[in-house]
Every structure is written in C-alpha cells, then in structure tokens.
Amino acid sequence: MTVRVGVVGGGQLARMMIAPAVELGLEIRVLAEQEGMSASLAATQVGDYRDLDTVRAFAREVDVVTFDHEHVPQDVLRALVSEGVAVHPGPDALQFAQDKLVMRARLAELGMPQPDWAAVTSADELQVFLDAHGGRAVVKTPRGGYDGKGVRVVNAATEADDWFAALAEDGRGGALLVEELVEFTRELAQQVARRPSGEIVAYPVVETVQQGGVCAEVVAPAPRAGIRLAQVAERIGIAIAEGLGVTGMLAVELFETVDDRVLVNELAMRPHNSGHWTQDGAVTSQFEQHLRAVLDLPLGDPSARADWSVMINVLGGPSQGTLDGRFADAMAAHPRAKIHTYGKAPRPGRKVGHVTVTGDDLDDVAYEARAAASVFLD
C-alpha cells in the first residue's frame, strides 16, 4: 500500500514537499487553510487546523501527520497522539517552537548559548532588564510571530505598553520575552534532520541575510566559516534536536557575535527558508529529508553537491501584476539559475518564489543569483 503523508498547512513549504513525495512514491495530502493555496497541487482538503474534529478526520486518512507551520494547538496535537496518530514533530518537541519563552527556558536547561533573556509582565520589569543591559533590548511576543512581526527593539520600557496591554486583556497571565540586543556580525542557520528512531544528520551551516525581518538571501556553506564555527553550529543543532526530541527537519537560527560567540536565536521544526538551497545544492533536499525523517526512513546524505549555493527570495512588489512573465524573463536571461515559484498572488513583501544558483566560485554564483532575482524587482 502506498504510504500517505498528511501535511497540515497549505503554504509553499508543503508545496515543496510534493515533488520529493512523488519521487519517493508517497501519497501526499494537505490540510489547507483556504482554497487555492500554494500546496493545492496535492490532494487538498480545506479546514481549520485549530479544530480537533477537522484535524482528526484529516489524520485518519494518512499514515503520518506533519506540518508546514507551527500553529496547531497543543491540545489538538495531544489528542491525536493519545488516539495513536503518528505526529512528527510531536507536541512535546513542537511546544519549544511554538513559544519562545518555553524555548528559552528549555535551552537554558540544556546549557545552550543564548542571549541574556527574561520573562517580563510589566513595564517595571522591562525597565529592570533595560537598566541591566545599557538601556536597549529586544522585546518579543512569545507566540505567533514570524518574519520579524512580534519583534521590537526598545529604548524605553514604555515602548512595549501596547503589548503589555494586550497581555492584560488576554487575561491568561502571559509574559513577554525580552532579550539583550545582540551585537552580531551575521546570522547563521544550522539544519539537522532526526528520525524517531534516533538517526540524525547535519547540513552545512549557512549564512542568512535578513532585510526588514524577512530572510532575503542564504549562502551555503557560510563563507569564512572555519572548522571550529562549523563544528560549534553542528553540535548546537544536534544537541537541540536530541534534547528536545525533534523529529523531522530542525532549523536553528544563530547569531555570530562580534566577540566570536554563537548564540541561538530561534527554532523551526519543519523545512525552513534557510534550507531552500538544498533543493539544488545538496545531495538530499530538506523537503525530501523531512519526509524521510517523519516516516522514520533512512536519512539521505546532507552534503553540498557544489562548492557554493546562493538562494535569493523573490518577494512580491508594489506594482507587479502576475509574475508569470517575469519568471519566464528570469529563465531566459539566467539559464543557470534554478527558478522556484510558489503559485501565490504577488502581494508586496510576500514570499512568492526563490532562485538558487550553484557553482565553484562564490562571487560568480552570488552575482548570477542576484541578477536572476533582480528580474522580479520593480
């Protein structure tokens, strides 16, 4: 019988699991938030991922449930697990990707290097942290943030008043996360894949460039990463995957600091933007690897196939109509570039595709990737 994988969430991450699912002979089904989403090329059901009955009915038709986002509520996940559904990553792991405060506390227990942090429930408590950290800090809403939404640099305790007010209104006694403002030279990401039976593989550490809180560009492997940096990042990735019991792909976002430390920023337990380069630049793409891992199949080789890969995100711009013509233009002008499209309407700032170029000369590869991506700019 064909093995069936169920992906909750219909975005581009689910979409990019479709091709490797076909190659591996798997059937892939998607529970999408609405009609016409990026992943609707797969057998798609539309429904609310927060509703237990909906998710349960979806889970009944598949052999394993996995995700393209981290928002399925814990009670839904736990109900599925108690009913014998294979859920990967499971709720015990996923909680650390769902709530940044829970993550910080657990990573501290594991002895992982992190920015100084605290849970704060009032402007007074935030002031205490600011006083101890030179008057500046980063405040984060622990849940539901993405692409820099829910992250704010503050210079005064009053600058988070609206978020404290929202907490008070919510009435569940929650807190905000405050972190020291890290002086970093660059951001890195370390991906690992882990199977339920414990096998684990690590991808090369990559450099990520963010613009306005959104990933703009990824260079794999991270340039100027000596053996030490690569080993430190890999050890952190493996320790977190094992310590948190992650199954499937794990991405650990890292800061490299001005004083040469590596600090954990945040976690994603699914394929991640920092790993899109693996589709064209690694022996096993993160999407194939995620499927293998959640099915507890032997993992593929995570090594790079080229010396360098550069991945550039294509974002919707203010004056684009349909992007179809531009994709064709990019293909015509840059035949070495691998063009990936998500089938999404190009709203400003929205991730609608990416391009990846691989090769043995970093300057050449980066130039070609940026040139191909620039075809989409207004």
Summarize as ranges the residues that interact with ligand ADP (CB under 6 A): 115, 138, 140, 145-151, 179, 181-182, 187, 210, 213, 253, 265-266
Q: What is the CB neighbour count within 10 angstroms for residue 43? A: 14
Nearest distance, CB of residue 271 and ligand ADP, angstroms: 15
3-state DSSP helix/strand/coil % of the chain, to nearest 5: 35, 30, 35
Query: E-assigned strands of 141-205?
Result: 151-154, 176-180, 184-194, 200-202
Please count the CA atoms within 13 angstroms of the CA of 38 that sit on its side-chain side: 23
Q: Pick between residue 79 and residue 151 the one whose CB is nearest to ligand ADP.
A: 151
Q: Which residues face 140 on adjacent strands?
A: 151, 177
Q: Which is nearer to ligand ADP, 74 or 185 (CB)?
A: 185
Write down the least CB distance from residue 117 to ligand ADP, Å.
8
C-beta closer to ligand ADP: residue 116 or 296: 116
Nearest distance from residue 113's CB to ligand ADP, in Å? Answer: 13
Which whole-number Å values give the CA distances from 221 to 210, 264, 340, in the listed order? 17, 18, 20
Nearer to ligand ADP, 140 or 334 (CB): 140
Q: Which is nearer to ligand ADP, 4 or 143 (CB)?
A: 143
For helices 286-294 and 12-23, what crossing angle results, to 10°? 70
- Rounded to a whole number of angstroms, the minimum distance from the CB of residue 273 to ligand ADP is 10
Cα 75 from chain centroid (whole Å): 22
Provide, rounded to whole angstroms, the least separation between the CB of residue 204 and ligand ADP.
Answer: 20
